[in-house]
Amino acid sequence: MDVLMRELFSTDIGLLSLFTIAFIIVMAVFIYKFVRRHIAEDRAAAEQQKPQLRT
């Protein structure tokens, strides 16, 4: 295990792998929040239009 951690944190390819993993996690969190925000906005817009459709 010690060899793997040394490889991950001290070699170029290890650091690149670590950066890539961190970037993917940050991107996934951003996309999740972005989609949730837009779903909430669309839901609110649909709720505003419902009473107008009934009359």
Q: How confident is the model at residue 54 (pLDDT cuts 50, 70, 90)?
A: low
Per the confidence metrics, is the pTM higher than 0.85? no
Model pLDDT for residues 8-41, shown as the tens digit of each residue: 999 999 999 999 999 999 999 999 999 999 999 9
Phi-psi region of 46 (alpha: psi -120 to 50; beta: other; left: phi over 0): alpha
Q: How confident is the model at residue 48 (pLDDT cuts 50, 70, 90)?
A: confident
Of residues 4 and 50, the one with the higher pLDDT is 4
- Alpha carbon distance 10, 27 (integer Å): 25
- Per-residue pLDDT, 43: 94
Tokens of 5: 């951690």
